[in-house]
Each structure stands twice: as structure tokens, then as C-alpha cells.
Homo-oligomer: A and B are copies of this chain.
Amino acid sequence: MVDIYPEIERPTLVVDRERTKRNIAAMAGKAVSNGVRFRPHFKTHQSAVIGEWFREVGVESITVSSVDMATYFAANGWGDITIAFPVNIRQIKAINTLSKQISLNVLVESVAAVAGLRSWLDYEVGVWLKVDTGYCRTGIPWDDKEALLAVAGAVMRAGQLRLVGLLSHAGHTYKAGSAERVVEAFEESIERLIRARTSLGGPYQQLLLSVGDTPGCSLAPGFTGVDEVRPGNFVFYDLAQLSFGSCSEKQISVALACPVVAKHPSRKQIVIHGGAVHLSLDRLTTDGGKTVFGGVALPDAGGWTDMFEDSYVKSLSQEHGIVQAESALFETVDIGDLLMVIPVHSCLAADLMGSYLTLDRERIEMMSQSV
């Protein structure tokens, strides 16, 4: 094992390649054994290099969250991409460029969006109806047959639009509160998606069904009834997923290495270089009512130790983090050392950091944020 830590000067997102590849293989295997298409969401890692780790297990279809991300992955050889975001018709120029090059799928949830596409689209795109199965963020309500029929009909009448299926993101699994309730919410979401298709009547029974969300895809025993799964976060997992029971601690495959810059013995706090611009302000509330911005471990030869049970990132400023430390941690750490912060939300930390460092010292770049 190479020791990367002596050379780290500033907050650095460390990725454990082996854990990440195991996470990918496990979810790909689960999809295969359930006979569904695996279309992983690449918004979590946003990296062409990590994308290759998916190709190694046979992945050919992916999900992204923006037109720009689709453009990046298309340029890196991905030929079948779903943009899982209500189509932004202001980006029609880039959508036209993409739809000429690759098999592109977009999401619609209104007749207005379909009309926009119909007016401006130059090439065929696949279209999924975005269905709201209980999350109440986006999508046509699963039980609003009239709206479903109106949008589906508009798609059918538009020349370049090929209606593919119904798609939902059961994001409310993130608030389910227990592993059991995650599975209930996920299965209820599938049930509702099936009922939405049934309600559309005869001509629509061949439509495919697609579901997302890492908690559900990780915890559900199987994927009966759907044709495609689109989890994303499972590639790295994080503290939030651990709290839902979606993963074990040993599956979390990214941590932010943060230089220690100050210690405050009177309140057992360690100040780290690592703040809101590195980790994001995503937070967890523990059963005891504490607000937590990250878990805390130490670097070790294999990557990083288990987290300290009674230590956590208590607050974040722009560049600073304040770690509330138990004695065993506080006494061990000196100014100039590194702490490893386990992010609450790995997608946002990765997006902020812009690159990864593997345990064998490969620097892995992500798509550029500035366009």
C-alpha cells in the first residue's frame, strides 16, 4: 500500500478504488440476477475514469442529471444516456447535438414541455414520463390518469418523440427512517408505477418502468415488476446511507482528508481545513438530536480507520470545520496531522471537490463545473 498521506497539503477527496469497485459489482450483480437493466446514475461520481469501472462489469446505459453532464459522458464514449431531470428546453441546442450522436432519453411531465421539444427537436429522442409516486418533488401524480394520458398522448403525436416508459424516483425513501420503511416506500413506489401504467389502458401496456434511489435499490430484496434501476449514490455510499442502513461502514468508499489547523482543549474541539466549500452543508440529525456534518476517522495504511463513535463534524464555515472530539481522538491528533471526514452526502462532496485521489496515488478528474 502506497502511503499517500504525507503529501496531502489541502482538503483532498480520497477514494478507495477496491471498495468502489465492490459496490459497483454488487449492484450490477443484483440487477442482473433480477433480470432488470442497470442504468446507474453518474451524477454521484461525475468522472469518465470512474465510469470505466462500470464498463468493466458490462454497463452500457447510464443516467445523468443535466444536459451538460450528458455532453461530458457522450464525449467519453457513452452512447445511451437518460437525463433524469425535467427537460430544460433552454438547452435545446445541446440536446439536438446529443440526440444526433447518441441514443438520448429525456423526461417530460407536462404538455408544455412536450410542445417545446416538438417545436425545436431535430432528431429522435426517447421520452420517459416522469411519475410522482409519493416524493412530491417532480412528476405527474401516479393517480392522475387524465394528466398521464394527456402527456402520453402529446408524446405519441410528436414526430421525433419515442415514448419509452414511466420513470419515478422514490426520493422519499431518504426520509423513511428505518430500513424496513425504506423497502416499504420503494415497493409502494413500484406498485404505484405499475398502477399508473395500467390506468393508461391498452395501447400503453408495453411501456417500460424505471426506478431509482440508492436506499431502495440497496435494501429491497428484489426488483420485481420493473425493467430498469437507476441508483447513483451506492458507488461511494456515505454517512446518510449508513444511517438508513443502506450500507455498512466498510462500503463507504470516499473520505475527505483534512489538515488539522487548531485544537481547543477546553471544549475538546479540533479545527480542520475542510468546510462548506468542500463537504457541502448537507447534514444529518441523530436520534439524540445532534446535527452532524460528517463522521470522523484517522488515516491508516489501508485507507482510513473505522469512525470514532462519539466524534463528529459539528459545524462548517466556508473553509473551516469544527470537530467535536472524544478524548481518545483529541489526544491522538496534533496540529499538522490529517483527519478523515466521512461525508454526509458523497454526491455533493464529490461535486465540490472536482477530483479524487486514489489510495495508490492516481489523481482522477471529474467533469469541469464551469461551462
Binding site for B on A (CB under 8 A): 8-10, 43, 65-68, 85-91, 93-94, 109-110, 112-113, 116, 136-138, 141, 171, 259, 261-264, 266-267, 271, 273, 276-277, 280-283, 315, 317-320, 322, 334-336, 347-348, 351-352, 354-355, 365, 369-371
CB contact between A371 and one of B10, B116, B352 (< 8 Å): that residue: B10
Q: B91 near A9 (CB under 8 angstroms)?
A: yes
Given the complex of chains A and B, what is the CA–CA distance between A336 and B322 in angstroms?
42
Q: A369 near B354 (CB under 8 angstroms)?
A: yes
Given the complex of chains A and B, what is the CA–CA distance between A317 and B113 in angstroms?
21
Q: B355 near A86 (CB under 8 angstroms)?
A: no
Q: A85 near B261 (CB under 8 angstroms)?
A: yes
**Could you pull out 14 A-B pairs where Cβ atoms are within 8 angstroms?**
A9-B91, A10-B66, A10-B67, A90-B259, A90-B336, A112-B335, A112-B336, A137-B271, A137-B315, A137-B322, A138-B320, A281-B283, A318-B351, A352-B352
Q: A9 near B93 (CB under 8 angstroms)?
A: yes
Q: B171 near A317 (CB under 8 angstroms)?
A: yes
CB contact between A336 and one of B66, B116, B262, B370 (< 8 Å): that residue: B116
Q: B138 near A88 (CB under 8 angstroms)?
A: no
Q: B348 near A262 (CB under 8 angstroms)?
A: no
Given known A110-B335, A273-B88, A369-B369, contact A65–B319 (CB-CB < 8 A): yes
- Hey, which chain B residues are within 8 Å of A319, CB to CB? 43, 65-66, 85
- Hey, which chain B residues are within 8 Å of A137, CB to CB? 271, 315, 317, 320, 322
